[in-house]
Amino acid sequence: MKRQPKEFFAGIRKIQYEGPHSKNPLAFKHYNPDELVDGKPLRDHLRFSVTYWHTIRGQLADMFGAGTAVRPWEDGTNSLEMAKTRVRVAFEFMEKLGVPFYAFHDRDVAPEAGGLRETNRNLDAIAKLLKEEQQRTGVKLLWGTACLFVHPRFVHGAATSCNADVFAYAGAQVKKAIEVTHALNGEGYVFWGGREGYSTLLNTDLKREMDHLGAFLHLAVDHKKAIGFKGQFYIEPKPKEPTKHQYDSDAAACLNFLREYDLLKDFQLNLETNHATLAGHTMQHEMEVAIAAGALGSIDANTGDLLLGWDTDQFPTNVYLTTEIMLSILKMGGFKTGGTNFDAKVRRESFEPVDLFHAHIGGMDAFARGLKIAAAIRKDGRLAEFVKQRYSSWGSGIGAKIEAGKASLTELETYMLKKGDVAPNTSGRQEFLENLINEFI
Ligand code: XUL
Ligand code: CO
């Protein structure tokens, strides 16, 4: 039976592509899902995803002030009934926006109840509804995750808590969250260690906590295999906030951790722009580090504010940023299970429901432009050719010998004694390359 859902965003029709000259704020100027870039539709290149926690649950509070969000459908409770209504709201929003994916934490979609059993029951009731709405709309689950950071029980961490019972609770919760993600055909599952770190080393056995985190992830991999879940597992690096130091601090730290605990084959990285900047890196840096290890899986698309030192989770509108990101994505051959997940929230001052549309439309258009610009830069070929030429000395002679692992230090000495010296004879041409990128933007 086809149900006609109540309309929550009345007056807003499905967002259409109207082209770059449109002045309609509720239309795409650059994101035409059917348009082909390198023979592949934009929809499949970008694989946009809406986050349940910000877009549906975000109340726009900050540490100095109460939430400002005007959401006429909210009844002021966190009841199961309210959670059911929110599912309808979410899918109407995603349908009107035209995104193919969404992502959620277990506790975003269903409320905690008296104990784990009752809480799981709530989650099952909502998962049933999510499945119905996925089938009705065709919107799919990019990834699921467990919220192991809001509830006070996780005050000292989840997998890295000093309390073994908390580890056990977190394990039970993750088991259920993976099962629900599996039941909803999620294409992935994310581990973000919000409280897996420390506030002071004075009270922390760092080695023991890292060992526990490694063990926890192994248990998750075992369970994934046991239930036949084929989705991709991701770790999402972030250096700090809420903890002073998070163990998954950046891409390099995560890769080292995964290697040390023999988990590299089971995980990829989900990289978030604002987390990269908090770690003192660019998003491009994080992406290149992950790609170099064959471990870039998905991205959380947002941006920070250079004047604010915390995770502001703003919608990305900077075309330089999206161009750099898409250059890396195209270089690695595109997303497989991953996508562009808007882990971003509207500003506290942007409190009307329509602002949710403006924010996502802007982010999607910025990424569509970034994709087209990146594809044009690649087609032009000058950038790639420059990089290739820069390393040309490695293609033959001593360079080729070193790369093949066939040179000894004695041989290098003999070679250089004969040559005498080597001059810094090629310019890095940074300004030339920056100008080249600007030609396309
Ligand atoms: C927090 C963050 C999380 C993860 C999922 O900074 O990015 O929302 O994306 O837990
Ligand atoms: Co994130």
Q: Are residues 361 and 428 in the same domain?
A: no
Q: Are residues 204 and 311 in the same domain?
A: yes
CATH code for the domain in which residue 375 is found: 3.20.20.150
Ligand in closest contact with the CA of 194: 1
Q: Are residues 412 and 274 in the same domain?
A: no
Cα gap 221→37, rounded to integer Å: 36
Q: Are residues 351 and 422 in the same domain?
A: no
Pocket test for ligand 1, best of 235, 236, 240, 254 (most atoms within 8 A of CB): 236
In which residue ranges of the chain is pLDDT below 50?
1
Total number of domains in the chain: 2
Cα gap 186→378, rounded to integer Å: 32
Q: Are residues 365 and 337 in the same domain?
A: yes
Query: Which of 380, 413, 431 delimits the end of a domain?
Result: 380
- Decide if 99 is inside a domain: yes
Q: Are residues 354 and 427 in the same domain?
A: no
Q: Are residues 47 and 122 in the same domain?
A: yes
Query: Which of 380, 404, 427 delimits the end of a domain?
Result: 380
Paired tokens of 66: 């109460």
Atom of ligand 1 nearest to the CA of 53: 8
Cα gap 224→58, rounded to integer Å: 30
- Decide if 388 is inside a domain: no
Return contacts of 15-18, CB within 8 angstroms, 24+ apart.
15/96, 15/97, 15/98, 15/357, 15/361
Evaluate: CB of 175 within 6 angstroms of ligand 1: no
Under 8 Å between Cβ of 273 and 282? no
Q: Are residues 51 and 122 in the same domain?
A: yes
Report pTM: 0.97
Evaluate: CB of 272 within 6 angstroms of ligand 1: yes
Give the distance (Å) from ligand 2 centre to CA of residue 22: 32
Query: Which of 334, 357, 380 delimits the end of a domain?
Result: 380
Evaluate: CB of 106 within 6 angstroms of ligand 1: no
pLDDT at 1: 46
Ligand in closest contact with the CA of 243: 1
Q: Are residues 163 and 113 in the same domain?
A: yes
By annotation, the residues acting in catalysis are 105, 108
- Decide if 109 is inside a domain: yes
Identify the residue whose C-alpha is closest to ligand 1 atom 8. 343
- Decide if 118 is inside a domain: yes
Evaluate: CB of 302 within 6 angstroms of ligand 1: no
Q: Are residues 346 and 411 in the same domain?
A: no
Atom of ligand 1 nearest to the CA of 275: 6
For residue 430, give its domain range: 393-440
Q: Are residues 33 and 91 in the same domain?
A: yes
pLDDT at 5: 58
Q: Are residues 318 and 412 in the same domain?
A: no
Give the distance (Å) from ligand 1 centre to CA of residue 104: 10
pLDDT at 20: 98
- Decide if 7 is inside a domain: no
